[in-house]
Structure 1
Amino acid sequence: MVAKIPKPDEDSIAVLTLVLGERVKFKKFYGRITPDLTARYQQYDDQKGCPSGMPPLVLRNYVDTDGEAVKRRTSLLGLYNPDEDKYPFKELEKLRKKNKLLACPVCGELGRPRTLDHCLPKTTYPEFAANLFNLVPACDWCQGEKLVDYKNAAGTRSFLHPYYDDVNQPLYSIKLQAPYLTPVISFEISNDLTLDLKSLVASHLEGIGFWERFKEYFESSYLNIIRMASETRAGGKVTVTTAIENGYSLEIGKGINSWDAVVYRSLLADPAVMDFLQNGKLSEYP
């Protein structure tokens, strides 16, 4: 998770009303479920996406047979894949293709996310398949890794929610161990977070398979930093510290917990590493 992002411009309940108003087929089912479905959308927003006390609706309560309940589950899931002339096609396309994000809000990897993650999985909560507040732009990896991992043993959510959680602050950092030319890195969640938020950050990052991905990314990112440090020292116009500070200033615009922002911030906080980059022997980059 890199930053809290604005909820969709469209009100989720208003869009739900438009969606259901277009569904002429299975009108009896939608007529029965609409009051409870609307109440659940409101509850979702009130509880900030937390599943506690919000079990999936029992579809059998809104139909006459078990077989029809199975079919209407498929109908609810289908709301997520509407025809182009139906609601909420344009709203979903806006979230996917016009989100204006520069990094995935679920993990922080750079690049505009092009898929949508159901925070409460639609396989478990088909009633939220097209709930705009339950849909967050995400990179392909996060969308695939998270899958149905959404709550902990206490029944509360085990993931950070980009629309609701206050995470516009450094969430984690890395520590480098010498030799600094080819360091081994470890990972630390910020001690400035509340205990509840620290726990949530830990379960979130574990659930999206974050650490192995970040370590692989760091290897190539750090090679570029070594190269940049060598070129900066050769140029002699600014210090390596200034160069990295300038890089950090650019990267936090993509998200305070975007991956390069985390790398730069972690380096700047470590005097031994910064001394190496400014004065050490960068043997591979003379």
Structure 2
Amino acid sequence: MVTKIPKPDDDSIEILNLVLGERVKFKKFYGRITKDLTARYRQYDVQKGCPTGMPPLMLRNYVETDNEAIDRKKSLIGLYNPETDKYPFNELEKLRKKNKLLACPVCGELGRPRTLDHCLPKTTYPEFAIHLLNLVPACDWCQGEKLTDYKNAAGARSFLHPYYDEVNQALYTIRLQAPYLTPVISFEIRNNLPEELKELVASHLKGIDFWERFKEYFENSYQNIIHIASDTRAAGIITVTTAIQSAYSLEAGKGINSWDAVVYRSLLEDPAVMDFLERGVLSDFP
């Protein structure tokens, strides 16, 4: 994740109670599990979505047979796809369509995310299928890359959590190696991050295939910036540095790790690249 976002406005436990209160089918099962579900929702918040010491509920403890446990798992997962007049349809739609985000909080790609990612996958944790704190707006690509991955070898979260992790800071930088008209680019996580956060950022970015996605975007953006630098120098009104600083200020408002913000910040932090853009030969670009 590259942006911390506010938790959902709706209270997850209140929504859970409303959901279970209007379900008629399997009422006996829901009656048995409600207390433990509520406790588990609170535990999720306390542990900030970390699965350590929080294994999935054993649904067999709330039913009479193994087959019934399998069926009730499907029932819990099915709560995520309610009819339009049932809870939590409106609450889920609010997260999908009215999240007010300008970039995906999981990867930073520009554009409002329209899908929801289960931080702890509902196939493993069906009890969290409609836990609003477990549902994060995400772009389609992040959804497809992350799938059901969620923990590392130690059993802790392997992905950043947009509601909990303090990541509203620059997380990574793009490095350019001369020749700067067609540079070799590389990616590195910033050294000033706490070691634990660095490891989590690395795991997160690997899990969403970040670099392969971002690399092409950066290459195209950089070529456009060379055009902008050429035009800015020709106009002679402001410096290239001022133009890029202004662009960075605008893009950072969408998220300090949104893709364009990363592009502009990486350039501004590299004196050799900025000197090239201000004074280097850009004759290949009219």
Inter-partner Cα distance in structure 1 for 2:22 and 2:221: 50
Runs ≥4 in structure 1, deviation > 2 angstroms? Answer: none
Corresponding residue of 1:139: 139
Corresponding residue of 2:106: 106
Inter-partner Cα distance in structure 2 for 1:121 and 1:174: 31
Inter-partner Cα distance in structure 1 for 2:197 and 2:229: 35
Residue 246 of structure 2 aligns to which amino acid in structure 1? N
Inter-partner Cα distance in structure 1 for 2:235 and 2:171: 34
The CA deviation at 1:284 is: 2.6
Query: Which runs of structure 2 are paired with 1:158-177 in the superposition (5 Å)?
Result: 158-177=158-177
Corresponding residue of 1:75: 75
Q: Which structure 2 residue ranges, 5 or more long, are not aligned?
A: none
Corresponding residue of 1:152: 152
Corresponding residue of 1:228: 228
Q: What secondary structure sits across from 1:216 in the alignment? A: helix
Q: What secondary structure sits across from 1:117 in the alignment? A: strand
Corresponding residue of 1:187: 187
The CA deviation at 1:2 is: 2.2
Inter-partner Cα distance in structure 2 for 1:270 and 1:192: 17
Inter-partner Cα distance in structure 2 for 1:111 and 1:23: 36
Q: TM-score, normalised by structure 2?
A: 0.99
Query: Which runs of structure 2 are paired with 1:1-286 in the superposition (5 Å)?
Result: 1-286=1-286
The CA deviation at 1:282 is: 1.3
Inter-partner Cα distance in structure 1 for 2:20 and 2:193: 42
Q: What secondary structure sits across from 2:54 in the alignment? A: coil
Inter-partner Cα distance in structure 1 for 2:150 and 2:234: 50
Inter-partner Cα distance in structure 1 for 2:269 and 2:49: 35
Residue 145 of structure 2 aligns to which amino acid in structure 1? E
Q: What secondary structure sits across from 2:281 in the alignment? A: coil
Inter-partner Cα distance in structure 2 for 1:184 and 1:251: 24
Residue 91 of structure 1 aligns to which amino acid in structure 2? E
The CA deviation at 1:51 is: 0.2
Inter-partner Cα distance in structure 1 for 2:110 and 2:183: 23
Q: TM-score, normalised by structure 1?
A: 0.99
